[in-house]
Chain A
Amino acid sequence: MALAAPAAQPSGPPLAAPPRETTASWPLADRVGYWLCWATGVGLCLIAGSIVLVMFVKGVSSLRLSLFVQSPAPSLHQSQAGGFLDPIVGTLIVTAIGIAIAAPMGVALATWLSEYRRPAWLARAVESAIEMIAGVPSVVLAIFGLLLFAHGFFGFLSQSASNGTVTGQSFLVAGVIMALLAVPLVAGATGEALAQLPARTREASYALGKTRATTIRRVLLPSILPGIASGVVLGMGRIIGDTAIITILLGATLKNEPVGELPILGTLRGTGSTLTSYVYNNSPAGEGNAPQKAYAAAFVLLMIVLALNALVTRLTGPRARRTDTRPRIWRLLPAGWASWSR
């Protein structure tokens, strides 16, 4: 019949790939634009490369193992004495506090926005609020923290050792405000992950008679763990990299100075420094003039942040790509980083 294809398909004559449109035929103005685009792309790579190169060269040359285990010590020969053990511990403490508060809060908020959303005006308001928090400069958040914790009610969270006045500066305070930095990131990542879950997951659970709370707890959240994890890691990266909150809320003492007698609580209520404020203080902008130590600490800081970024890429990796419907280039921006609400 007419439908049958011819039996033997002869292979055709050799093909020529047709010449593609080249820029040779473009007018000069267009060609200039084309070359500018190339220059920009290459230039960006060069900039990033040189940043890494400078940090590597200067950082590794100043890096000594002893730096990791010694506390900062004042000395005439600034470049030789002391290390950044305390700042590293400080970074860990602040990040831990910040994430411990931000992760549950972010996940809870995103879950409420995704699954409950009643009343509608409240949902819109909360979305705007989260976006606003993401948009407020970290200095202003720091000032807010200062005002909140220095005056009165929350004074017990921090205290100056010398005359008992409340300074509003301590690890606890800094950690709490750092949480505000991380919440939009965690909430954004969780919200996106929840939005990408197919409706049948929820429908299947409801069809079995499960309540919404149970569905969330046992079905939805476990299945978006990679998304939550990526949000948490993003939040950690943001917290670790922030300096403004530390300089204002952590007292900028070289060593971690505990307040009070209790072992752990004392440290938490006391002042100290983190890697970021250590770098700042050792640079010409701070008091110290030990650029070598600043470079060394900055190098460590950069490696930590890059490792976290790589971890996020891994988490939002091949498995996630199948369900991610955003244009591929948008994955440059991790979920929630641009704090777009739906």
Chain B
Amino acid sequence: MPAAAPQYPSTQAAVRTDRRAEHMLGALAVGVLLLIALMLVTVAINAWPSFSANGLSWFGSGGNLVTQFEAMHTNIPLQGHELLYFRAWPLIWGTLLSTVLAVASALVISTLAAIFLTEFAPLSVRRVLEPVIRLLAGVPSVIYGLIGILVIAPWINDHLISNPRKHSVIYVVQLNGADLMTATLILTVMILPIMVAISAGALAAVPSSWREGSAALGVNRWRTIWRVSLRAARPAIAAGVVLATARALGEAIMLAMVSGGSPFAANPLDGLTFLFEPVQPLAATIIKEFGGDTSGAVAHTVYAIAAVLLFSAALLSFAGWAVKQPLKRYGIGV
């Protein structure tokens, strides 16, 4: 008995299925767009009360954030102000400080590491370094925070912060090792893997004709890397910086654990003590202040902070797109 001939659906039915699939998938794509729009709108709407109560001074400084939060938690407005009174400048300053310092350090270290990985490391070392970077990228932020607060902060407290230094600022803030330095240190390590991977990839993609040409002119390896390879890798490194900044900006848990207990605006004029003063970046503030109540004054303030973060993320996303354009020109496929 010959096997039955395979039954193919008629062409029309097949085309209909195909079109249905296309429409469903297209609907899903549109759904994703709607989701983003929904996110932007929802956060903005719920953040509005805080912004409207404070105006542009929301971003300014004034008063002590600790008392402001306390007022919101207890529902007792401060003297002469309304309940939603809030001046976020110390938080913004803390965010700027930790992010900029971390990205700058990571830029230097990651460039050196990428040069090492692509140019100088022997194969055996490279085979160790690549999993190392993957490991650093994979460690959850809460573990970084744990090590920070249980190992690094006490060490800094015991060895780097002397008693006279603590006394010098004791009337304003308490130094205990959970501070800007610890936060920046760990944040740098957290964003290093991204930048190393992107920079190393870009350096490896530099055409060998340039490297050969430079060597043939009598220029040693280091100068070749510096003047030619790095220059060619500049757009990719810039893209890496944008990505790393977004990561640093959004880091909440680790910073909530190690950057210090109080929303204090670290003062550079304090000299070296400035590094040991606590900071509280925006994302960490959300974690610390949110208490479960979804519609009180605290909640609206938290929504406002989230709105600022969301807006920054959107800006960085756009910056990332803009920085990637030259990459497309050189065909260095990122």
Say whether, besides A211-B18, A305-B138, A329-B197, A139 and B117 are in contact (CB < 8 Å). no
Are B135 and A306 in contact, with the CB atoms below 8 A? yes
Report the Cα distance A131→B334, complex, angstroms: 14
Closest Cβ–Cβ distance, residue B283 to chain A (whole Å): 5
B14 at the interface (CB under 8 A from A): yes
Among A128, A243, A330, the residue within 8 A (CB) of B321 is A128
Are B146 and A283 in contact, with the CB atoms below 8 A? yes
Chain B residues at the A interface, C-beta cutoff of 8 Å: 8, 14-15, 17-18, 20-22, 25-26, 28-30, 32-33, 35-36, 38-39, 42-43, 46, 109, 112-113, 115-121, 125, 128-143, 145-147, 149-151, 189, 192-194, 196-198, 200-201, 204-205, 220-223, 226, 243, 246, 249-253, 256-257, 283, 286-287, 290, 292, 294-295, 302-303, 306, 309-310, 313-314, 316-317, 320-321, 324, 333-334
Chain B residue at minimal CB-CB distance from A211: B18
A11 at the interface (CB under 8 A from B): no
Are B140 and A276 in contact, with the CB atoms below 8 A? yes
**Dominant SS at the B interface?**
helix
Among B17, B32, B121, B324, the residue within 8 A (CB) of A41 is B121
In the assembled complex, 13 residue pairs joining A and B whose CB atoms fall closer than 8 Å, in A order, are A26-B222, A40-B109, A51-B139, A52-B135, A109-B28, A118-B22, A130-B32, A132-B317, A148-B42, A150-B295, A211-B14, A284-B150, A305-B138
Chain A residue at minimal CB-CB distance from B288: A285
Contacts of B226 in A (CB 8 A): 33
Chain A residue at minimal CB-CB distance from B17: A213
A47 at the interface (CB under 8 A from B): yes
Are A135 and B246 in contact, with the CB atoms below 8 A? yes
Are A332 and B197 in contact, with the CB atoms below 8 A? yes
Q: Which residues between 60 and 90 of chain A lie within 8 Å of chain B, taking CB atoms?
A: none
Report the Cα distance A301→B22, complex, angstroms: 41
Report the Cα distance A131→B290, complex, angstroms: 27
Are B201 and A112 in contact, with the CB atoms below 8 A? no
Q: Mark A118-154, 1 if CB is under 8 A from B, else 0.
A: 1000110110111111011111110110111011000
Contacts of A279 in B (CB 8 A): 142-143, 146
Report the Cα distance A240→B142, complex, angstroms: 11
Q: Which 6 A-B pairs have the closest CB atoms?
A: A137-B250, A241-B140, A112-B25, A213-B21, A330-B201, A211-B18
Are B140 and A305 in contact, with the CB atoms below 8 A? yes
Q: How many A residues touch the partner, as a band?
A: 35 or more
Closest Cβ–Cβ distance, residue A150 to chain B (whole Å): 4
A254 at the interface (CB under 8 A from B): no
Among B129, B140, B287, the residue within 8 A (CB) of A139 is B287
Are A44 and B252 in contact, with the CB atoms below 8 A? no
Report the Cα distance A321→B321, complex, angstroms: 28
Contacts of B193 in A (CB 8 A): 332
Say whether, besides A34-B120, A48-B136, A125-B33, A135 and B28 are in contact (CB < 8 Å). no
Are A247 and B117 in contact, with the CB atoms below 8 A? no
A156 at the interface (CB under 8 A from B): no
A202 at the interface (CB under 8 A from B): no
Closest Cβ–Cβ distance, residue A276 to chain B (whole Å): 5
Report the Cα distance A299→B140, complex, angstroms: 11
Report the Cα distance A105→B28, complex, angstroms: 8
Report how many A-B pairs have Cβ atoms within 8 Å. 288
Closest Cβ–Cβ distance, residue B31 to chain A (whole Å): 9
Chain A residues at the B interface, C-beta cutoff of 8 Å: 21, 23, 25-26, 30, 33-34, 36-38, 40-41, 44-45, 47-48, 51-52, 54-55, 58, 105, 108-109, 111-113, 116, 118, 122-123, 125-126, 128-133, 135-141, 143-144, 146-148, 150-151, 167-169, 209, 211-214, 216, 237, 240-244, 247-248, 251, 276, 279-280, 283-285, 291, 294-295, 298, 301-302, 305-306, 308-309, 313, 326-330, 332-333, 337-338, 340
Closest Cβ–Cβ distance, residue B217 to chain A (whole Å): 14
Contacts of A332 in B (CB 8 A): 130, 133-134, 137, 193, 196-197, 200-201
Report the Cα distance A320→B317, complex, angstroms: 30
Contacts of A242 in B (CB 8 A): 140-141
Among B21, B109, B223, B251, the residue within 8 A (CB) of A30 is B223
Report the Cα distance A133→B37, complex, angstroms: 11
Report the Cα distance A55→B136, complex, angstroms: 13
Among A130, A131, A148, the residue within 8 A (CB) of B320 is A131
Contacts of A54 in B (CB 8 A): 147, 151
Contacts of A326 in B (CB 8 A): 201, 333
Are B316 and A135 in contact, with the CB atoms below 8 A? yes
Chain B residue at minimal CB-CB distance from A111: B25
Say whether, besides A55-B147, A136-B250, A306-B135, A38 and B294 are in contact (CB < 8 Å). no
Among B29, B135, B201, B220, the residue within 8 A (CB) of A122 is B29
Contacts of B201 in A (CB 8 A): 326-327, 329-330, 332-333
Among A51, A113, A169, the residue within 8 A (CB) of B147 is A51
